[in-house]
Structure 1
Amino acid sequence: MAQTYESRSPPATAPHRLTSMPPSRKRPRAYDPARTRAAVLAQFGHVREAVDGLRAEQLDRPTRLGGWSVRELVAHLGMALTAVHRALERPAPPKPDVQVVEWAFATAASAAAIDDSTRALAAGRPDLGAYLADIDTTLRALLAAHPGGRLLQTAAGALPLDDYLVTRTVELVVHTDDLNAAVPGLDVPLDRQALAAATRLLADALAVKAPGGATEVRVPPYAVVQCVEGPRHTRGTPPNVVETDPLTWIRLATGRLAWTDAVAEAKVSASGERAGLGELLPLLA
């Protein structure tokens, strides 16, 4: 089984490797550890409640994730959290060596192993409700037992536990949206704090991938970042502005929605000659 389980995006997009990304020059964003922990548990609770109500024919429905069924998607959601369990089983690395935003560029390397592990797990766990309930219980115990500063060796590098939990909000929000897309009418809610953390992490990843100050990307009410090389804006209305809602931004950043489609459908507004982000997206692949 893969040692670390990361976000899965549609297979048609090209991977972006951590080693190809420029380092962030800005002070990393701070996340409230208590809110992050609460958000992870709350969003996972929403998923558990929804899965408990799924019928066999709904679990067999296809998803937009390269041949996975809903059953496999649910298994993936569970594995996204047991990545914390697996990381805590390994010795702590001596020191952190990446920022949390860099996780976004390290998600593609284990795609084949992730796919194999997910399919095997889904086949071997017929009672998905019990599987998720066990994860919830063990995760709560682990979070109570380990301080937020405990270092974990992850696919991206060495990160504190509390930072790694921010990446779990991305996993949970993205795949909850995948679950909603696969099962019409399911409407699993998105925890506000989980959505906020996921939005901010992916917005910061864009600023790392395309450093600069020519374009302002706004995702109200959660994030505003400056990116793209060019003349830096200092006051007044920026000449290049992109604005969208959080869920649309997450779909763009993870390849669930194409930039051209989002603009055509008026899900994103883009003004200025440097406001086209199509060549920079998706961030996760």
Structure 2
Amino acid sequence: MDTVRVAFRDECARLGEVLSGLSEADLDRPTDCRPWTVRELLAHVRSGAGRLTDMLAAPAPPRAEVDAATYFGAPKFTPEVDAARIDSGRREARELDGAALVADFDRAWRGAEAAVAAAPADRVVRTRHGDAMSVTEFLRTRAVEVGVHGLDLAAALALEPWLTPTAAQVIAGLLTDGRPVPPELGWDRLTLIRKTTGRARLSGREQAVVDAAGFRWLSFGG
């Protein structure tokens, strides 16, 4: 839990620093998470980062049923769910100007962090998909969402990726199931994350090595 909390906190804080210097024009740039703009993607990240606050205020399920990798399983993100997610991000982005949206992101993630700090380490929560997860595993998904979408935001803003070391560790560990990256790939953690989440193209040779290594392919839906 400590490592996952640090990953979530560091990545959110770093994103907040980057956002504080953006203009309204920056926020209206397109992203590769189509059809979202930077503003709309940020609204989605803001909602996801704050989700644990309400989850921890709700009654706890008796036991955890899924882990972070299962949460990101493709079967959960049907076309209907994906369309609702996209529409939600676009609708929420229209409700706030840039400064208010950035401030709300800061409020959302800090509120979630405080709620996690006050909860028992073995607390179980229920996701919006209806699954029961340990709070640690769900917070792991939040670190993944903020970190990977941070790569999307960096690309849209023509900035160098700012992925923080602990977030990179947590995300890479989930993608590889804790196994080492095959040395023949020569990847650092950032390259691993970009390649295996579709943010960078895999060569045919890399695809074969990844398939043989059994890396997890995650579907992102928040």
TM-score (norm 2): 0.84
Which structure has the larger Rg over C-alpha atoms?
Answer: 1
Q: CA deviation at 1:276?
A: 6.0
Q: State whether structure 2 residue 192 is matched by structure 1 residue 249.
A: yes
Inter-partner Cα distance in structure 1 for 2:154 and 2:181? 28
Q: Which runs of 5+ in 1 are unaligned?
A: 1-32, 205-221, 227-237
Q: CA deviation at 1:58?
A: 0.6
Q: How does 1:254-273 map to 2 (within 5 A)?
A: 254-260=197-203
Q: How does 1:3-152 map to 2 (within 5 A)?
A: 33-106=1-74, 108-109=77-78, 110-126=81-97, 127-152=100-125
The Cα RMSD (Å) is: 2.7
Q: Which has the higher helix share?
A: 2
Inter-partner Cα distance in structure 1 for 2:28 and 2:15? 17
Q: State whether structure 2 residue 174 is matched by structure 1 residue 224.
A: no
| Percent sequence identity over aligned pairs | 31
Q: Which runs of 4+ in 1 moved over 3 A?
A: none
**Which range moves more in the overlay, 127-136 or 54-63?**
127-136
**Which range moves more in the overlay, 40-49 or 138-147?**
138-147
Q: Which has the higher strand share?
A: 1
Q: CA deviation at 1:132?
A: 1.4
Q: Which runs of 5+ in 2 are unaligned?
A: none
Pick 1 or 2: higher relative contact order, CA cutoff 8 A, min separation 6: 2
TM-score (norm 1): 0.66
**Count of paired positions:** 212
| Kept in 2: contact 1:64–1:178 (CA 8 A) | yes
Q: Closer, same or farther in 2 for the Cα pair 1:92/1:81, shift >3 Å?
A: same
Inter-partner Cα distance in structure 2 for 1:179 and 1:97? 32
